[in-house]
Amino acid sequence: MLRTLMRQGNFRVTYPDGGTKSYGDGKGTAVHVTVHDKATLKQLALNPELGLGESYMNGTLTIENDDIYGLLTLAIVNMHAGNAPGWIASAGKLRNGLRWIAQNNPVGKAKDNVAHHYDLSGQLYDLFLDTDKQYSCAYFERPDMTLEEAQVAKKRHIAKKLLIEPGMTVLDIGCGWGGMGLTLAREYGAKVVGVTLSEEQHKIARARARAEGLEDQVDFRLMDYRDVTETFDRIVSVGMFEHVGVPHYREYFSNVRDRLAEDGVALIHFIGRTDPPGATNPWVTKYIFPGGYCPSISESMKAVEKERLYTCDIEVWRLHYAETLKHWHDRFMANRDRVEALYDERFCRMWRFYLVACELTFRLNDQCVFQYQLARKQEAVPLTRDYLYRDDVEPVRAPVATHAAE
């Protein structure tokens, strides 16, 4: 398996019998791993996408100098080059074929999937997120921005795309710990309804609203977005669409359309892929985001088109999430002892593997962030993008068509 897969780079393996072999073209710094038992060898050969993360978590595979960046770089580069053996490629095709089953997220199951990740200790997220607890891609307008500055820039950019005005009503689908909703209320005068399925997030978001005296402006609800019945001037959804699942895309965008006022604007921000539709990495599905999936434009936009929504703007953020994840990783590692006190060493290895793997997927593979600006009317947003980048220019609205007789 390794002779087929590891054709680029300098990879060395010490096997359970003590022997060491080298793979790749020998270029670059060597990455040296030790596999400690035969069961791990079998798992890695048959299903490396699952086995690599599990063996690192369990300590049955160790890396010299704990060079997880080096190991995952080699793995991603070689997998992306199409070097995977036939049986591994076939397993990927099978997962693609079964993804409608794996990503079926009805209301009850969706809540369980959310709880798996987002109902972990709130203290954990405090150890690596910014002060506003933004658990989504930041926007690095300058490379020297701090994480806090880049998250503020992300919220400001989204608010501009929403064309928020005081008194407008906003639905925040997947409101997290409340940062976006509180910002739109506090700084833009909006009245916000935020919905989440995470009990931990809901509790913290409500407490933040009380602490800021914004309870009259922000209503955080523990409920599925599909159960919301009001209509809103604006809809925002940041980092939630990845949890919807392919079978529910039309249902999602149908709800966006039904909840949006006739002249309303929606901004959907999510992780996507620039390659064709596929399936989620099995390790990520099992340990990090059950039911999660990052879609391509082709499959997500098909649902938008069928629900009669105008696509007013599509923006692609390429390396912004890689930089965000690097900040999260560095903060996590600086607080690793405190994370271990909350959980254990195995959890620390699992979380580090997750953060590094995701960062490198954005840097080296086909992952990015999409922002869809959607509306029920073409003229709901300005004719040009100038309003996003210039504070001194009043947005020019699209003209409303009139009949020739008039």
Q: Report the C-alpha gap between 225 and 316 in whole angstroms.
A: 25
Q: Report the C-alpha gap between 366 and 238 in whole angstroms.
A: 20
Q: Report the candidate in 260, 238, 274, 256 with the shortest Cα–Cα distance to residue 157.
A: 238
Q: How far from chain centre, in Å, is Cα 381? A: 26
Q: Report the C-alpha gap between 246 and 277 in whole angstroms.
A: 10
Q: Is residue 375 within 8 Å of residue 314, measured between CB atoms? A: no
Any catalytic annotation for residue 358?
yes
Residue given tokens 């529910």 in the structure block: 248
Cα-only R_g, the chain: 23
Q: Is residue 182 within 8 Å of residue 175, measured between CB atoms? A: no
Q: Report the candidate in 186, 217, 224, 184 with the shortest Cα–Cα distance to residue 202.
A: 224
Cα→Cα distances 368→44, 357, 364, Å? 28, 14, 11
The two three-digit tokens of residue 192, written as one number: 């916000």
**For the chain, which ranges sit under pLDDT 50?**
401-406
Q: Is residue 294 within 8 Å of residue 269, measured between CB atoms? A: no
Domains and CATH numbers, the chain: 2-97 (3.30.1050), 105-389 (3.40.50.150)
Considering 137, 175, 294, 358, which one is annotated as catalytic? 358
Residue given tokens 């006739």 in the structure block: 262
